[in-house]
Structure 1
Amino acid sequence: MTYLENTGVKTCQVLLEQFKSRDARIRDPKKLEFAGVGGRDVYNITAPFEAGGVTVIAGRVESRDSEQSELMFFVEREGRYTPLEGAPVLRLQDPFHTRIGGELVIGGVEVFPHPEDAEKLGWRTVIYKGPRLEELQPLFHGPDGMKDLRLVELADGSIGVFTRPQGAKGGRGKIGFFRLSSLDELTVESVEAAPLLPGQFTDEEWGGANEIHRLSGGLLGVLGHIACYDERGDRHYYPMAFAFDPHSGTASDIELIAIREQFLPGPAKRADLRDVVFSGGLVRLQDGRAVLYAGIGDAEAQSVQINDPFARFEFLPARKVE
């Protein structure tokens, strides 16, 4: 047993039972209203973040019957989110953001015709960087077939990279991690070689990192998702979190932090996506609470207040390995 107490792989069902046995104290669910998108859905949003002195949210904008998405940036005006004037529109799904070296880093998933099957789509993570939204430039195209690639600047200035290979290495999708001295070292080969985190997913289930939070003691708080199919083939996505030591490679147990029934009722893109909650981002408050922003049913965006999943790890020191 390590100081982060990883007790091994747990299925979605076990994690769900554990979650329901805890005092989750979920409150204040809200739907985010969007305008100026031509009637399309906005979902799989980020949490609000600052860009050029303005608070924005990035969202996946998509017609209900399509997988062709646009990543757009929104500002809140009179209770509704409208597109930020002058901001870029990127042909990406599932946006994320961070800051590295004082610059804004924005990414998402690019879809393209599958090179071996004309009836399927391929995908990869694409990342942009720039001093402002209006000056974003391509930084990196990840390996084909990999979603949920995430970057974080560590306290010593090095870069942590969370990966999510699928196939021979990652099955349906598992989380990996490695460190770089700088973004100049980021390559497809280095991403593909990242070791997987142990004790997280069965081969029948999958998951990924969505947003990374630097904690005061040197650990990282990882907001992510874990997912599975049921016997009917319906998908179930749960927001989850764990703490990670970027020096020793040790991770705490995965814990669910919310479930679909705690959000407001709403539509789904398809019937098999009714139980999908896709973690977008987390705003940590000062009272042991946090606001979780999420995509619901691949059709809408909501937020809800939860217990801060990283509060108990905040000052736990990372264990540096010489």
Structure 2
Amino acid sequence: MNSSKLTFSGFPDHDVYNITAPFQWNKKKVIAGRVERREQELSEIVLFDEFEGVWRPVKQAPTFPGLQDPCITKIDNRLILGGVRFPLRIGNNEKCWQMEFFREEENGKFEKILTGPPKMKDVRFLELRDGRILCLTRPQGQKGGRGKIGFCLVDSLNQLSHELIENATLLDLCPEEKWVGANEAHLLRNGKVGVLGHIAEFCQKGDRHYFSMAFSIDLKLGTSTKPEIIAKRKDFPKGETKRPDLIDVIFSGGIRRLGNGRSRLYAGLSDAEAGFLDLPDPFDKFES
């Protein structure tokens, strides 16, 4: 399988990782990426476009300070960009994280429209053919353990609340010692939903191991297939890592279906770099 790392410019002494797949913004093909110094966890989301094989910051594009791990979807034909706010203080000055979502307005600007529940990452949206919106969730703790994927349906984003997201129906996708999360949802030809996500575990040494996976959801039946691993860190070129325990980590940023059974996965690598991997379309089997 063909794979390559992406080259970024504009941020000396910073890493760019945990990217989205390319998307259209302001008539440009861009990628959103997490920009951060190697020794810190203070990041911002920046938009990049490609010139002569190098991804460079888009001039006069908005940036999103304090946000990590961007995600992208479209609702009502308008771009929705999400990211994880960290650090955030809640309650008794407890440090946590929270997802924030921004809608594209006129002239390519973005307006914050909603937040996810505190301490929940991997909230994702998908507009369905009937106009309803699928919300994928990822509770942890008492309800979700190390991390489970849930889903709920709403007629509009205005109907979403923290309570509704927290009470979403959970899918049985992995053993308790592992955890999963959704990264991107795709509407399939037969009305099912294909989900690109990650499945992860700790080894005996305490190192993290993150793999890209895919599965499908039948919303009519409320059932899902089991996750299938589609990519591992070793499928990409060797490179840098943020910490030794993050070497075997890939962040499933997004996948682009290319037709004829082909696809391209865009991913963050070892919390320090980004790349792509060409692989068989993991959603084809769910459409047959």
State the TM-score, normalized to the length of structure 2: 0.96
Deviations 1:166-186 (A, max 9, x none): 111001110000000111101
**1:78 maps to which residue?**
52
Once the two structures are TM-superposed, the CA of residue 132 in structure 1 deviates from its matched residue by 5.3
**2:156 maps to which residue?**
182
**2:209 maps to which residue?**
236
Tell me whether 1:49 sits opposite 2:23 in the alignment: yes
Once the two structures are TM-superposed, the CA of residue 278 in structure 1 deviates from its matched residue by 1.0
Residues 108 and 126, structure 1, Cα contact 8 Å, conserved in 2: yes
Once the two structures are TM-superposed, the CA of residue 287 in structure 1 deviates from its matched residue by 1.8
Residues 104 and 130, structure 1, Cα contact 8 Å, conserved in 2: yes
User: What letter matches 1:96 in structure 2?
Assistant: C
Distance 1:116 1:274 in 2: 34
Once the two structures are TM-superposed, the CA of residue 113 in structure 1 deviates from its matched residue by 4.4
Indicate which of 108, 111, 114 corresponds to 2:83.
108
Tell me whether 1:66 sits opposite 2:66 in the alignment: no
User: What letter matches 1:307 in structure 2?
Assistant: P
Once the two structures are TM-superposed, the CA of residue 139 in structure 1 deviates from its matched residue by 1.0
Deviations 1:280-308 (A, max 9, x none): 00011112011110001000001010110
User: What letter matches 2:246 in structure 1?
Assistant: L
The unaligned stretches of length 5 or more in structure 1 are 1-26, 317-322
Quickly say closer, same or farther: Cα 1:124–1:86, change in 2 above 3 A: same
1:191-270 counterparts in 2 under 5 A? 191-198=165-172, 200-270=173-243
**1:292 maps to which residue?**
265
Deviations 1:31-78 (A, max 9, x none): 100000133100000000111211000000000001111000000001
**2:73 maps to which residue?**
98
Residues 86 and 134, structure 1, Cα contact 8 Å, conserved in 2: no
Deviations 1:246-265 (A, max 9, x none): 23221112100011111101
Higher RCO (CA-CA < 8 Å; seq separation 6+): 1
Greater strand fraction, Structure 1 or Structure 2: 2
Residues 57 and 74, structure 1, Cα contact 8 Å, conserved in 2: yes
Quickly say closer, same or farther: Cα 1:68–1:52, change in 2 above 3 A: same
User: What letter matches 2:100 in structure 1?
Assistant: V
User: What letter matches 1:276 in structure 2?
Assistant: V
State the TM-score, normalized to the length of structure 1: 0.86
Distance 1:201 1:92 in 2: 28
Residues 51 and 133, structure 1, Cα contact 8 Å, conserved in 2: no
Deviations 1:59-110 (A, max 9, x none): 0000000111100000000100001112111021000000001111000100
Indicate which of 296, 301, 304 corresponds to 2:274.
301
SS in structure 2 of the partner of residue 257 of structure 1: strand
Distance 2:34 2:92 in 1: 25
Deviations 1:102-144 (A, max 9, x none): 11100010012454787x7411111111235732111111111
Residues 88 and 98, structure 2, Cα contact 8 Å, conserved in 1: no
Identity %: 47
**1:39 maps to which residue?**
13
Indicate which of 253, 259, 283 corresponds to 1:310.
283
**1:11 maps to which residue?**
none
